[in-house]
Amino acid sequence: MSVGALYLHIPFCHAKCAYCDFDSRGLCGRALDEAAATYVAQLERRINAFGECGALADVRTVYIGGGTPTVLGERLPALVRRVRSWCEPVEFTCEANPESLSEDLARELAEAGVTRISLGVQSLDNGELARIGRLHDAACALAVIARVKRLGMSVSCDLMCGLPGQTGESWRKTLKGALAAGPDHISVYPLTVEEGTPLARQVAQDPSLEPDEDFQAVCMEAARDALTAAGYQRYEVASYARPGHACQHNIAYWTGVGYLGLGRSAAGMLTGAEYLELANLFPSQGDACNLACISPDDRIRIVQRNDGATRFDVERLRAHEAVAEDLMLGMRMSAGVSPELLERARALFGPDHVDPTITTACREGLAAWRDGRLVPTERGWLMGNELYGLMWGLASRV
C-alpha cells in the first residue's frame, strides 16, 4: 500500500501575520533553534516509520507548508533529503516567505530536490504589507522570485485581495508587478477575517477594515482578466498556471487521491483500506476509528494534534459521503466532474436526487455542461458556498 501525496507541516514563523489562524508559533533566535531541532527530529521519525512500511514508495507529490518552512534554515534541505530517501516525487513544493529564503538556502533546496517554491507575496504595495504584518517588502519579493527562477525551480506566488487600505489601483499594480516578474503559477485569495486573530480584533475596533465582498469579487475578476490575457490558465477557483505548471499536489487533494499529513495540525486522507493497513501508526482514537466498523470504501480523514504524533482527530466518511465530497471538490476545478463520477453518484443516490441537483445548479447559473462534463461557471466560483452546498447535500440522500 502506498499513498500518492505527502504533506509536511512546519509550525514556525518569525512573526505571525495579522490575518493568520494557521497552527504556527512566532519564534526567533535560540528559542526557534531549540524548538525546531526537537520538532524536526520527531517529524523525521514519522517519515521513517511510514517509509519503512512502504507507504511512501509511490508518492508523486510532496508539499512542505506551514507556518514558514524556510525559517528552519539548513534543517529544511536535510528534511527534503530525508523525504527523498523514501520516494521519488515528480513535484516537490516548499512554501517560503521572501525574507527567509536567502540565496544560499534557495540553492540548497534546489540541490536537495525541491522543484517548486510557493512564495507568500500577498501584495506588492509596501503599505498593505505592513498593515497585515508581513516582514518583507515588494522589492524583496520580486528579488526572490528572480532568485528561484534563476536556480531552475518553478515558482508560485500567493496574492490577496481585500487587504486593509487596498484600492482597485493598488490591486492592479500588484497584478502588473507579479506578471512582470513571470512566476509559473499565481494563486489569488480573498482575505478572510478569522476569529481570534489580530485582524479580527482590529476589525472589531474599526469595522471599516472588514473586507468588502463586492470589492473582492471585482478584484477576483480583474485577476482573471489580467492573468488569462497573459497566458495563464485558470484550473481551479483560485489558481492560475502557465501550461504545464498546475500544482499537481493540490490537484491530488481535489480529486480524491490518498495523502498523508505529517506534523502537528497536518491533515491526511486515506481510503478505509489504506487506513486499515496503517492503523498501527495512529494511536487508537476510540469509536471514530474502530477498525471493525471501517469499510475499505470508506474515506478516513486524520489530523495530527500534537508534536509527538500521539494524538489524532479521526473522521470517517462513508462511501456515499466520499462521492458527495468528490462532487463538491470537482466544482472547484475548471475540469469539473467526469461522467464516470456522475454515474457513481446516480448509482448511490439515485437519479431522482442527482439529476434535479444538477438541474438546479445549471438553472441558477452555477454550473454548465461542457464536453460531457459538469463544470462550474464563473458565477459558480463566485458563489462557491452555494454550489458546494448543493453537491454536498446529496450525502443526506442515503
* 93-114: pLDDT as tens digits: 999 999 999 999 999 999 999 9
DSSP string over 100-133: G--HHHHHHHHHHT--EEEEEEE-S-HHHHHHTT
Q: Is the dihedral of CA 228, 230, 232, 236 positive or negative?
A: negative
| 3-class state of residue 382 by DSSP | helix
Pairwise CA distance, residues 316 & 301, whole Å: 6
Element (H, E) at 167: none
Are 113 and 81 in contact by the 8 Å Cβ rule? The answer is yes
State the pTM of this model.
0.95
Pairwise CA distance, residues 220 & 24, whole Å: 28
Q: Beta strands of 35-105 (E only): which ranges?
A: 61-66, 91-96
Q: Residue 292, class by beta-carbon neighbours within 10 Å (0-12 exposed, 13-18 middle, 19+ buried)?
A: exposed
Average confidence score pLDDT of the chain: 94
Q: Residue 179, class by beta-carbon neighbours within 10 Å (0-12 exposed, 13-18 middle, 19+ buried)?
A: middle
- The tens digit of pLDDT for each residue in 163-195 reads 999 999 999 999 999 999 999 999 999 999 999
- The tens digit of pLDDT for each residue in 14-30 reads 988 888 888 888 889 99
Are 19 and 161 in contact by the 8 Å Cβ rule? The answer is no
Q: Is the dihedral of CA 342, 343, 345, 350 positive or negative?
A: positive
